[in-house]
């Protein structure tokens, strides 16, 4: 039995609302995680990044990262510092992040990417 789709959202984000609407229109079984209210742990972020094949700084929001005063070098030696900063400051994480039933994980900010994970 497959797991439901999981979507990490900020309800104030138009891209997140668009993604939820697309999931609703598709009749998808999904779970919403308001990641600002329930920040992901370092382990969860590591798992998501591994599924996407990305580094922490690849999925951060530059303006919010700057506004939060986060100035960590973008290299392997500082990867864990990034993960800790992202968990402590979830507003810097790009959104929406969707994990499909097959484990595929994407940042669904454009229609093609969104379509790739909707059943």
pLDDT digits (tens, 9 = 90+) for 63-99: 999 999 999 999 999 999 999 999 999 999 999 999 9
Active site residue 16: no
The answer for residues whose C-beta is within 8 angstroms of residue 99's C-beta and 6 or more apart is 5, 6, 7, 48, 51, 105, 117
Q: Which of 2, 3, 8, 13 is catalytic?
A: 13
Q: Give the residue extent of every domain in the chain.
A: 5-117
Q: Going by CATH, does the domain composed of 5-117 fall within 3.40.50.300?
A: no
Predicted confidence (pLDDT) per residue in 26-72, tens digit: 999 999 999 999 999 999 999 999 999 999 999 999 999 999 999 99
Contact of 51 with 99, CB cutoff 8 Å: yes
Upstream peptide bond of 96 is cis (omega within 30 degrees of 0): yes
Please name every residue paired with 7 in a beta bridge, in sequence order, or none if there are none. Answer: 32, 98
């Amino acid at each position: 039995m497959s797991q439901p789709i999981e979507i990490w959202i900020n309800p104030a984000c138009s891209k997140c609302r668009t993604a939820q609407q697309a999931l609703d229109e598709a009749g998808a079984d999904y779970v919403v995680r308001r990641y600002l209210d329930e920040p992901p742990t370092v382990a969860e972020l590591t798992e998501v990044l591994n599924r996407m094949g990305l580094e922490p700084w690849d999925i951060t929001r530059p303006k919010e990262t700057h506004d939060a005063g986060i100035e960590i070098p973008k290299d392997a030696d500082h990867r864990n510092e990034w993960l800790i900063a992202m968990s402590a400051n979830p507003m810097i994480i790009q959104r929406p992040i969707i994990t499909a039933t097959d484990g595929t994980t994407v940042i669904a900010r454009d229609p093609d990417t969104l379509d790739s994970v909707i059943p």
